[in-house]
Amino acid sequence: MNSLLALGAKAVTMAVSLVCGVLTTRLILGDAGVEHYALYALLTVLPSMLAFTDLGAGAVIVHGVATSDDPRNDEPLVAQLTSVGRIVIGFAIVLMLVNTVMLVSGGWGLALGEAGSLPSAGLAAWACLTVFCLGIPVGIWVRIMLGLRRNHYVILLQGLISPLTLLGVFLLTRLPEGAGHGFLAVASYGASFIVSAIGLALTWRSTAPLIPRAAAMVPHLRRHPGVRVMDVGWPMLAQLISYPIAVSTQRYVLAQSGDSAQVAEYGVVAQVFLALNGLVLAAGLALWPMYARKRHLGELRRGPAPMAWLFAGSVAVATVLVWLLEDPIFTFITDGQVDVSGFTVLAFGAMVMCVAGVYPLGMFIMDKPGIRFQVVPTLAMALTSFALSLLLAPRLGAAGPPLGNAVALLVCQIVPFAIYIARHRERLTAPQRQEA
């Protein structure tokens, strides 16, 4: 039921996001040009490259909330939230220091490739990451809501990001003499921060006094030492860094091996397929607390294979539709300013289809042994995907990185996960003992 609610919420917000995304793209291409759109595409992908802001320890919060009978007054959960809070604040401080070094040293200009030569590109990257760092501790609300099996609330709130981004981009493009063109991506970060602040306020209220108690304990290390969370965090961290290595770096690989036109083509097709990918992730993430709760209660009877086939098959159908309507869709999105090849569309479709297939499998094995097992296949997938991106991007352009990722997902995750589930089915469907 929660998975269906999440799927429905994501379908609604995806439609809104696609419309707002198309309008944002047309606005940037029309007012600022392809080069500034390439810069926007590179900067807005940075958060997905830093998806490990809690170092994987957030998984403890999801599991703790999902299995708690009273999250408002659960003492072990308060201690876990305190420990995770310290981790995310520490990560934000370190990241801000790295961000400042990148600005002062000129590292941002080098990392952005051709787009880095635009005026104020480095300063814009610094501003984006500064807003992101401020929002890292605020983002803990997502893990709590996921554990409460209210992922649909998260999705609906995050659906506000695209309209707010469109508003911000519109205001920046109205500044005289193109003064805001280099800072268009800041609108996306500002929108995300506003939504996170709203989400934290709602979560704070619905779980009170959980969050204020943990927040009060965070500064007092000696009085409230916290609890161990990285026994799950380290294996989970391996999974969190896999997406940045495998997918989020793809634009930067293109920026180094190609030109702004290829980055723009990638960004336009990604706008469609990563929205579809978001739909998959929303439904897939909702399976995590559902499987955890059913296993905890001894009610888990069915494996994830039917769900995996349903997810992958749905993406395959959507890919064929986008491929058949490729010309009118992308001509409209880009106003004819960016050429998109059918091969790039199919490559993205293959990548998202493999993601759709692996997600139910991965969520099914999110107990402690399963999380630890996933480390090697997931890291192998990420490194294989990155290597294939480096190899294929110069030869195939925008289609190369997503095609390489699809191959890596199939070989390194889907096959090993399916074998693991078959071998450990008895343990995975047995009632889970309460862990200390």
154 token code pair? 């998260």
Low-confidence winner among 293-297, 315-319, 381-385, 386-390 (lowest mean pLDDT): 293-297
**Helices and strands in the chain: count of H runs, count of E runs:** 22, 0
What sign does the CA torsion over 137, 142, 148, 153 have?
Answer: positive
Residue 402 CB neighbours (<10 A): 29
* Structure confidence at residue 436 (pLDDT): 36
Neighbours of 184 (CB within 10 A): 26
Residue 189 parent element (H or E): helix 186-207
**Contact assessment for residue 285 and residue 153, using Cβ atoms and an 8 Å cutoff:** no
Stronger pLDDT, 259 or 391, i.e. the higher one: 391
Query: Mean of the pLDDT values across residues 164-176?
Result: 93
Angstrom distance (rounded) from CA 201 to CA 121: 33
**218-to-126, 211, 436 alpha-carbon distances in Å:** 27, 11, 22
Give the mean model confidence (pLDDT) for residues 156-165.
Answer: 91
Query: In angstroms, rounded to a whole number, what is the distance separating the alpha carbons of residues 224 and 217?
Result: 6
Query: Could you tell me what percent of the chain has a pLDDT over 70?
Result: 94
Instruction: Check residue 411 and report its DSSP letter.
Output: I
Rounded CA-CA distance 224/236 in Å is 25
Q: Are 194 and 164 in contact (CB under 8 A)?
A: yes
Q: What span, in angstroms and rounded, lies between the C-alpha atoms of 345 and 326? A: 8
pLDDT at 177 over 70: yes
Q: Among positive and negative, which fits the CA dihedral 116, 121, 127, 131?
A: negative
pLDDT in tens, 285-343: 778 777 777 777 777 777 888 889 999 999 999 999 999 998 898 888 887 888 888 99
| b/e burial code for range 138-164 (CB count within 10 A of at least 16 → b) | bbbbbbbbbbbbbbbbbbbbbbbbbbb
Residue with tokens 């609108």, as numbered in its chain: 187
| pLDDT surpasses 80 at 8 | no
Of 25-39, 129-143, 169-183, 259-273, which one has max mean pLDDT? Answer: 129-143
Burial zone of 95 (CB within 10 Å; 0-12 exposed, 13-18 middle, 19+ buried): middle
Structure tokens at 179: 């003064």
Nearest-angstrom CA–CA distance, 391 and 419: 29
Say if CB 80 and CB 144 are below 8 A apart: no
DSSP for 136-176 reads: TGGGGHHHHHHHTT-HHHHHHHHTTHHHHHHHHHHHHHTSG
Is-contact 188 132, C-beta < 8 A? Answer: no
What whole-number distance in Å separates Cα of residue 336 and Cα of residue 324? 17
For residues 311 and 281, the answer to whether their CB atoms sit within 8 Å is no
CA-based torsion, 210, 216, 220, 221: positive or negative = positive
Question: What average pLDDT score do residues 20-47 get?
Answer: 88
pTM for the model stands at 0.73
Tell me the DSSP string of 313-358: HHHHHHHHHHHHTHHHHHHHHHTT-S---HHHHHHHHHHHHHHHHH
Q: Residue 418: what pLDDT?
A: 93
Mean predicted confidence (pLDDT) in 10-33: 84
Report the C-alpha gap between 72 and 85 in whole angstroms. 17
The predicted-structure confidence for 195-222, as pLDDT tens digits, reads as follows 999 999 999 999 989 999 999 999 988 8
Contact 359, 281 (CB under 8 A): yes
How many Cα atoms within 13 Å fall on the side-chain side of residue 210?
Answer: 28
If pLDDT is split at 50, 70 and 90, which confidence band does 435 have? very low
Cis peptide upstream of residue 402 (ω within 30 degrees of 0)? no
280 within 8 A of 311, measured Cβ to Cβ: yes
Which two structure tokens, joined as six digits, stand for 46?
Answer: 């940075």
For residues 343-367, one letter each, b for 16 or more C-beta atoms within 10 angstroms of the residue's C-beta and e for the rest, the string is ebbbbbbbbbbbbbbbbbbbbbbbb
